[in-house]
Amino acid sequence: MNKALHVAIIMDGNGRWAESKKQKRVKGHEQGAKAVREITKFCATHKDIERLTLYAFSTENWKRPRLEVEFLMKLLEKYLKNELEVYIKNNIRFEPIGDIRAFSASLQKLIKEVKQKTAHCDGLVQSLALNYGSHDEILRAVNKLRHEKKDITNEMLSNALDCKHQVDIMIRTGGDQRISNFLLWQLSYAELFFTDTLWPDFHEDELTDILNEFGKRERRFGGLN
Ligand code: FPP
């Protein structure tokens, strides 16, 4: 198996998890944050995984009720404050993607601080996609490159994106089978896995099964084997 896998996850189903337990939707997000920690720590110890990119807040999530958005912002702040120690202890580098300029000044400061304080870590790279949308990412990259005199190459565009790394394994929890504006450029040859498990119930044993299944798939990248 490739020793440097990039795993990306669309963490869906927090709301339904809470509703199934007759709890408020936000309780599902709280439990979802715990699953983020568990899966991140597992990936940090896994010999084959180099990068883990998690869809935490999309450019479209602002359409949710104001109170839910506010809760998610507070949860993110709490998570990052607590997590700094966990990142450093587990040698995890935090590299957010997305346009964080839409967040409050204090949250932007915290995101930059955690990034900077973990910059020396050379184990797993955990990327949280924050105010992230693939169209927005590609447009920002194209705008960065628009004054180039020469034709834009694949490499130039890749390097101008927030996430410069192709994905090997894309997992979506929560039962839906769509990509929802996540890493469209980077998913070109990713192996896709969809599970009905709701994100708060997604644990390392299921990720291990997916990694085993991935190991059996034949990747041809458009060529012949
Ligand atoms: C989808 O569940 C999940 C999100 C909107 C974003 C993911 C957020 C978390 C995992 C929690 C916070 C994360 C961090 C890093 C602090 P949904 O609400 O769409 O679920 P539903 O489809 O059941 O309604």
- Domain 5-216 is of which CATH architecture? 3-Layer(aba) Sandwich (3.40)
Mean pLDDT of 74-86: 97
d(CA 207, CA 95): 22
Report CA(97)–ligand 1 centroid distance (Å): 17
Express as a percent the part of the chain with pLDDT over 70: 99
DSSP β-bridge partners for residue 29: none
Any bridge partners for residue 94, and if so which? 126
Is the Cα torsion angle 24, 60, 152, 160 positive or negative in sign? negative
Longest dimension (CA), the chain: 58
What are the CA-CA distances from residue 166 to residues 4, 162, 178, 196, 213 (Å)?
Answer: 11, 12, 18, 25, 19
For the question of residue 61 being annotated catalytic, the response is yes
Report how far ligand 1's centroid is from the alpha carbon of 56 (Å): 7
Residues with beta carbon inside 6 Å of ligand 1? 11-16, 29, 32-33, 36, 56, 61, 75-76, 79, 128, 174, 199
Residue type at 107 in one-letter notation: L
pLDDT at position 3 is 62
Q: Is residue 154 annotated as a catalytic residue, yes or no?
A: no
At 164, list the tokens: 């410069």
Nearest CA among 51, 46, 58 for reference residue 7: 51
Task: Report the alpha-carbon distance of residue 93 to residue 90 in Å, rounded.
Answer: 9
Q: How many residues does the chain have?
A: 225
Predicted pLDDT at 81: 97
Its pTM stands at 0.96
User: Which of ligand 1's atoms lies nearest the C-alpha of 75?
Assistant: 16
**Nearest residue by C-alpha to atom 18 in ligand 1:** 15
